[in-house]
Amino acid sequence: MRWQENRMPRTIFPLTLVFRPVTFFLCIYFFVFSQSSPKPALALKTTPYFEKPAAGLLPTGFINKLDTCKIDSSLVDSLGTPWFRIRLHDQALWLHARDMRYITDIPRDFVSMQVKGDDNKKRRLQILQNKPDWPHRIKMSVRDGQICLDMTEEQLVAAWGEPFQKGVTYTLGIGDHATWLYRSSTGKILLVNLQNGQVIGWTLDK
């Protein structure tokens, strides 16, 4: 089997461009620079990893559900299967991209923006009063100004408000999906990824 490695841990390129200087800069930045450093990712389920990205091999080991790892490159093999390369104990290993989602620790200044001031807190509490059927963990996240996996678009807006920009993104192992951009009080940018109207992960723009 032949394959060609692609040194892109995540390929991001907005499909719809709004011709503004800020948007143009962000698009170029994502495309050129987002591949330069390993990206943290979360396992959606118990995931086998392999010495080579090839079908038919026995796994070397497993990553448990909700474990995290660093992804430093990706490729698509000759059968069209997307793979991520990870580093584990100084060894390069491969796993199926479909079983992972990009996720990273959220800096405190993103959350502090939401919990600062009575207006934000009142807004979130008022929303929660009208949404008694939301899952408990979602309601706790919204109450505390946090975001979490599986939030709907409505719940994300309840927790953090509207993003300053929305776009469409392609990510290996996921395909096309929505990306919402949030900016913290210190100027950091968090890309929140959504698919089918639900949060599937997020990454911090370095």
Q: Summarize pLDDT for 100-109 with one digit per residue, the tens.
A: 888 877 878 7
35 found inside a domain: no
The structural domain count of the chain equals: 1
List, as one string, the DSSP characters of 33-64: HTTSS-EEEEESS-EEEESSS-TTPPPSEEEP
User: Do 183 and 193 contact (CB within 8 A), yes or no?
Assistant: no
3-class SS of residue 172: coil
As a whole number, mean pLDDT of residues 17-36 equals 40
What pLDDT, in 10s, does the model give residues 74-119?
A: 888 888 888 999 887 778 899 998 888 888 778 787 776 666 666 8
177 falls within a domain:
yes
Q: What is the CATH number of the domain that holds 179?
A: 3.30.1450
Greatest CA separation for the chain: 60
Domain that holds residue 184: 108-205
Does the residue 119 lie in any domain? yes
User: What's the confidence (pLDDT) of residue 6?
Assistant: 43
What's the first-to-final CA gap in the chain, in angstroms? 36
pTM: 0.68
Q: Tell me if 163 is assigned to some domain.
A: yes
Kindly report, residue by residue over 155-168, the tens digit of the pLDDT: 999 999 999 999 99
